[in-house]
Every structure is written in structure tokens, then in C-alpha cells.
Structure 1
Amino acid sequence: MILHLFAGPGGMDAGAGEPGVGVEFDDGTVATRRAAGLATVHGDVRDHGPADFPEADTLAGGPPCQTFSVGGRGEGRRLLVHLQQRAKAMAARQAVPSAPPGTDERSLLVLEPLRYALAAADVGHPYRAVVLEQVPQALQVWETYVEILRAEGYSAACGVVNAVEYGVPQTRRRAVLLARRDGPVGIPAPTHRPWRRGWALSEVESHRRPVVSMGDVLDRPGPFTVVPNYGTGGDSARRGRRASTEPAFTVTGKISRNRVVGPDGEELPRFTWSEAGRLQGFPADWPWSGQDISQQIGNACPTQLAAALFRAVRGPAYDGEPVRAYAPGDMTEISTCGWTA
């Protein structure tokens, strides 16, 4: 069974294609998970540990990225050296150094999966596999994880991947970490072509599948162009544009602000929650619920990327076995290890 920390609205659950239980703090996100039939503990990962989920053999999660993202104020990036020091102290089973005054606690949450992994090993029940994802700016933390997990008996690897190369209809770069105890592991090979504006895609990595575009996954009747409202520094002249024949920009919590225009520049309806979710790989009928749905969608791990990551840690016994995405209601019978779904 998979234990999903910082579980989000279900991107990793759906991509994993097998039962699991998630720990999630946000009220609205919990509402979405429960509407989708995903086993969920509504709480703070810091208040729990491996002993609360004795059936879990795989650890997964995407810690909060706000303090690491280039869209934030960068506190997490400034704390990278401190976070590495804390991680190494945890691995040595020593007291961790105190965080600098005024530290945003979200920055420290990136080390919670390590706490779970070490605690599980200390009681003789190490996780068989670990799957983690974050923004690229956190790669340095994952590199420290790799060093520690290898010393704990894991094969481990980390790197930065682009979700568009795994069939996601958006360009979304993520730092990923994979580890397993029962065999070698590596970053999964891309299955789809890279995307760059102006490239002749038929001539680039032609052995891979074509890039998936927004138009491929959305049911809009005609061509459209997306004009984002972020990454411009307030300068509207710097706004980029993506046609419906191209993948989306990175889906963030601000996706509802993106303009959608027709061929003649006419304003079209902006993305619905269902459409925004489909750009993250969710089924069209995923039951988005609660508050701040755009942030829930922006925080999710794309399901196709999650599927590729889980395939990479499953080992030879799973070679060739398809991993299906769960639809809403498919996971209502999952054991929750004593917790209420």
C-alpha cells in the first residue's frame, strides 16, 4: 500500500493506479479527495509517523513548494544549506540544528518524508520504495536524500524532468526522487517528444510519441490561444501565448486568471475546473470540491508523470503491466489502517 504525504487532490493516487492512503492538511483538498473516494487522513504529516500506517510499503509525496518556487519569495531556496544540514543530522540520528528565526515552517516540511523513511527503517520495516516530487529549485535537497537513502540500503536517483515528455499536456519541470530497496532504480526514460516553440517536432526525438496538446485533451469546438496572467512581472506586453495545438504553460494556482481567446482575438470562456484538471491529467469528471480549487489543481502532481515514476520503482515483477488511472469512486474500498476515509 502507498502512503501519500501532502497527498493533494489525488494526482499521485490516480497515477499510481493502486490503493493507498493520503495525509492532507487543507480542508478543501480533503473535500476533493473524499468526493473522489480516496482514503484520507485529514491532518498534519508532522503529527503522524510510519507506525500509524503499518500496511504501507511505499512512501510518496510532494511537499509544499511555495517557498522554493521562483514564483514565491525564495525563503526555501535561501535555506537549502540549512536543510541539507538538518537532513544529515537526521540521518546520523542526531539533534537537528535550529531553524533560523522567522523561518516559514513550510520550508522545513520538505524533510518530513525523510523522517518517515528513517523512522520506518529504525523499527525494522523500511519502505520498499520512495517516490517524491518538488519544484526544480529543491533538487539540492533531493541530492542529499539520495546520499542518505543509499547509505540506508536503497538504490536512489534524482533529477529534473519535464512532464510534457511523459504525456502531460503542459510544460511543467519537476525535481523528482526515486528510491527502492529491492533493485536498481533510475529516472524513467521519457515517452513523449520534448517541446520547444519553433522546433520541427516530427524531426525531434521521432522515436517518441508526439507531444500532447491542450486541444488533444479539451473538448472546445475550435482553436484557441491561452494568454497567461503570471510570470510577467506585471508587464502585460511580456505575456506569452500558447495555441491550442501546443501544450499548456505550467498549471499553477493562478490558472483561472488565464485569458482564452479565439482566432479573431475574441474573449472565450476561461478554463473550467474540469478543463484545468485535465491539463494535469485528471479525468474530466474528477469531483473538485471545497475551497480554492484552482490552487488544488495547481498543486497537484500530473497523473501521467506520477504513473511513470511509480512504474520506475515497481521493479521487474511489474514490467509490462499497465498502470491505469483511477476514476472517481474507484478507491472507496481501500483499507485506511484504522483511519476514517
Structure 2
Amino acid sequence: MTSAAPHQPILDKPFVLDLFAGPGGLDVAGYALDIPSLGIEWDRSACLTRYAAGLDTLHADVSAVRRDAFESLPPEINVLAGGPPCQTYSVAGHGAGRKALEEVKRYIRQLTKGDSDKEIDEALTALSDPRTAMVLEPLRYAIQATRSLNRENRPYDVIVLEQVPAVEALWEHYAEVLEGTGLPDGTKYKVVVDVLDTETYGVAQTRSRAVLIARREGLGEPSLPAPTHRAYEAREWNRRSAQTTPGVHQPTLDGDEATPMPENRQEQEKGDDLKPWRSMGDVLAEPVGTTHRGRETPFLVRSNYGSSGVPGRRGVRSDRQPATTVTGRISRFVVFQHLNEDIVYEGARFSTNESGMLQSFPPDYPWSGTAQAQQVGNAVPPLFGAHLLSAALGLPAPDPDVMRKPWLPATEEQRAKLRSHGCGAADTCTDKCPRPKDQVTAPSSARPRKKKASTEK
């Protein structure tokens, strides 16, 4: 259900707690909407990016903060948001979460019945992959808020969650218990759940996300954000390409001629007020900010996944199409520039800045630390996040151009202050920060490897 009703803010002073905050997707969205936020993030490099961007951050384990430091969180926080780790639920992962869906639903019921944290924690040790339990943390935070003396037992007013499409079934179960039995203290919510496509909100990539928006009873019916752009359909794109005027051709990577590309993409679309979906060329061709000088067009991009190990099957898109889903492998995507009508050559791969722009991060966003491509891929697209927050809070749809403005990084003084708050020291991590060696990884048994036949006699 999307809303076409007049916008009416439901909170005077929204303040977002962003769980599993990553490098700042939802926080950048909040900044664009003039909404303060506090992010909790485990990964050290993602925190370095957040400090450089000037985002308030706790370098901490979400579960540990809930157990040991919940009372230290600002009591004025009234919006709970986050995207729990998706590796075990993603179709690209080992699938431990998908196998455990029914088991996790049982834990949701136990939590809303009021079972003790100790009992729940002991039961969760039976999960094959501990990361699967992270999807329960938003619910555990919502319950903890109603038990917090610092908050005077005040529940969160709004909850906004997003994850890979495979988690839609869990969000539906969240909705069932939040609307039905409610939290242990009796608090109930009105909830909407659906799978949304980010290109329909102006993000220059095809990425589907399962989202949940909940409002505490008495704050009105929640609604999903209304799409602002048309959906991208690969088959429809190819069909229409073949119908356009001959002569507009792009060479393929194996030397064969590709289908003609339309001069005016989506020009046949009539009868709605939606904008055309945004292409990679829309986002990357023009100089923006101080570091992005613009990328030469036309170009072709070959992705690094979805090929079942066969390079020839890897997806290829042109600069006049949206990017495929931006993941941590975005730095491996091969970009081919046009030498002339019939020849292509391998050009520069996407920089971290360009990858972030495909995610709708502002130009000049100060990516820091290591594994920057992974940071980009793990993030919530900020423009999509801004649409989610706007719908949840009754605000007008955000202006997509707000994400095109260069980002002003934090000064050294500001960065030191943020890190002192988030890590405990101005220039380093401390004992209170998560240790990399403690980070939960998928068990090696999750995907058994085939043994090679022995050649020994």
C-alpha cells in the first residue's frame, strides 16, 4: 500500500537509532531530511568512513549495546531503523537463514511473549550460523525500550527495517506479532511490509529490498513510499530497443552486434507521471563535486557474478541502463569504453566514489579504511532510505538532487570528537571496541566443498 494522501509529519522531533549502520546509508538519508541519527556499527573501516563523514557513531556490537549499554543511549530516540546482516539470507550466501526461517519465527513469538533474554540467548546458540539471530535484534531493541528506566519505559514510535527479499517472510511475521499480540508491555503497531525496487525511487541500480514500516498505534496508518520513477524491465528494454530506428548500435564484448538502443529511452511510456528510471550514464557522465570529473560515455559493464562460474554468461549492461545490484564485488566489474562504432577496449573500473554514486551516495563521500567496495555494497542506498524515512514519518518525498550535492567531510577536530565518543579515544580503537577476531563468520560446514579426486596411487 502506497500513499497519495497529503503529507502530515507524525513526530515533532524525529531522532533515528540506526542498527547495523554500515558506512552511513540511512544516516545520510536522515541528514538529507534534517533528521539526527546515531548509528551502531561493528566494522572498524565502516566506522572510519562514518567518522570522516561526520556521522555520530558507536563502534560496537549491536547485541552488546542492547545487553550492556542500552541505558546510555539518548532517551529522545523515537525511531528505530536498520538492516540486519543479510549474508545468511541472501541468495548469494550459504542460505543458513533461509533454512532457519521457521525457527527464527518461533523466537519472535517467544520474545513477544516476554521470555527472558537469558532463555532466548541460550536457545539461539543452536542456530547453525550465529548471524542469523541478528535479524531478531530490532525486535529485541523495541522490547528493551519499553523496559528502559532512562526512557521511562517509552516505546519507539516508528520502526523502519530493510533486508534482502528472502527476509520478507520474517517481516510479515514481525507485522503479525506487532499488530496482534504486540510487545510484552502491550504496545502495538500498525505495519506494512513489501518488496520494493530501488530504481523506482531514483537509484541508478536494480536492487530489491524487503521493507517494513511500523507506526505505534495512535500515530496513523503507515504506508509505503510511492514510487517516483518507472521500473526497469530487462525484457521490455530489449523488445523496445529492437523496435527503434535502425542505426543506433552498440558492439557487444564478443564482437557481435547488440540490439539497437533507443535514442529516447522509455519514450513509449505514456499515461503516468513517473520519471524515467535513472541510468549509470545519468549518474556518472556529468562532472559532480570536486573529485568526480565525469565518465566518458558510452560504456558497457560486465558484472562479476550471476554467471555460475562461466564468464560468458556474466551480465552486460550499457551506460543507458541502471547498474545491476551493487555488491561488494562492484570493484571487479569490468568497464568497456568505445573506441569507435565496432571496437571496445577495457577502461578504468569503477572507483569507490563512482560505486557510491551508483548507490546514490553523494559525490566526494569520504570513504575510508579498507574493503571500501564491500562497504559500498553493504550500504542502504541513501536515496532509497530517504524515501523510507519520509514515508514512515509522513514527510514529502525527498528531492533526488539533494544526494548529488558534494558531501562536506568532518574536520580533524570533529572527527576526533566523534571517534572519542564512538571508540573511546580520539585517534584509535580501545578495549570497548569489537575485536576483528571476534567477528562472526559463516561456519565452513555451511557449504561443503567437493573433494578433488586423488591422483595418488
Query: TM-score w.r.t. structure 1 length?
Result: 0.93
The one of 7, 26, 51 aligned to 1:34: 51
2:226 aligned residue = 189
> Would you say the 8 A contact 1:8–1:299 is kept in 2?
yes
Q: Show the 5 A alignment for 1:169-318.
A: 169-181=204-216, 182-197=219-234, 198-199=236-237, 200=240, 201-204=266-269, 206-218=272-284, 219-263=294-338, 264-315=343-394, 318=395
CA distance in 2, matches of 1:314, 1:291: 35
CA distance in 1, matches of 2:111, 2:399: 37
> Would you say the 8 A contact 1:164–1:195 is kept in 2?
yes
CA distance in 2, matches of 1:102, 1:133: 22
Report the number of matched residues.
Answer: 337
* 1:156-188: CA deviation from partner (whole Å, max 9, x where unpaired): 111100000000000000001111121110221
CA distance in 2, matches of 1:149, 1:101: 25
The one of 67, 83, 92 aligned to 2:113: 92
Q: Show structure 2 runs of 5+ residues with no match.
A: 1-14, 241-265, 285-293, 424-457
CA distance in 1, matches of 2:371, 2:421: 25
Specify whether residues 140 and 9 from structure 1 end up closer, same or farther in structure 2 by C-alpha distance, changes over 3 A only.
same
Q: Show the 5 A alignment for 1:41-120.
A: 41-49=58-66, 50-53=70-73, 54-94=75-115, 95-96=119-120, 98-99=123-124, 101=126, 103-120=128-145
> Would you say the 8 A contact 1:64–1:110 is kept in 2?
yes
> Would you say the 8 A contact 2:224–2:392 is kept in 1?
no
Name which of structure 1's ranges 69-78 and 88-97 shifts more when overlaid on structure 2.
Answer: 88-97
Q: Show structure 1 runs of 5+ residues with no match.
A: none
Measure how far apart 1:283 and its partner are.
1.0
CA distance in 2, matches of 1:321, 1:224: 30
CA distance in 1, matches of 2:93, 2:422: 35
> Would you say the 8 A contact 1:35–1:328 is kept in 2?
no
The one-letter code of the counterpart of 1:187 is L
Specify whether residues 319 and 102 from structure 1 end up closer, same or farther in structure 2 by C-alpha distance, changes over 3 A only.
closer
CA distance in 2, matches of 1:100, 1:321: 42
1:145 aligned residue = 174
The one of 173, 191, 196 aligned to 1:161: 196
Specify whether residues 185 and 259 from structure 1 end up closer, same or farther in structure 2 by C-alpha distance, changes over 3 A only.
same
Specify whether residues 300 and 3 from structure 1 end up closer, same or farther in structure 2 by C-alpha distance, changes over 3 A only.
same
CA distance in 2, matches of 1:100, 1:251: 32
2:431 aligned residue = none
Measure how far apart 1:319 and its partner are.
4.4
> Would you say the 8 A contact 2:387–2:397 is kept in 1?
no
The one-letter code of the counterpart of 1:207 is D
Query: TM-score w.r.t. structure 2 length?
Result: 0.70
Identity %: 42
Name which of structure 1's ranges 10-19 and 100-109 shifts more when overlaid on structure 2.
Answer: 100-109
Q: Show the 5 A alignment for 1:324-335.
A: 324-325=402-403, 327-329=407-409
CA distance in 1, matches of 2:62, 2:18: 10
Specify whether residues 176 and 271 from structure 1 end up closer, same or farther in structure 2 by C-alpha distance, changes over 3 A only.
same
2:435 aligned residue = none
Specify whether residues 44 and 175 from structure 1 end up closer, same or farther in structure 2 by C-alpha distance, changes over 3 A only.
same
The one-letter code of the counterpart of 1:145 is Y
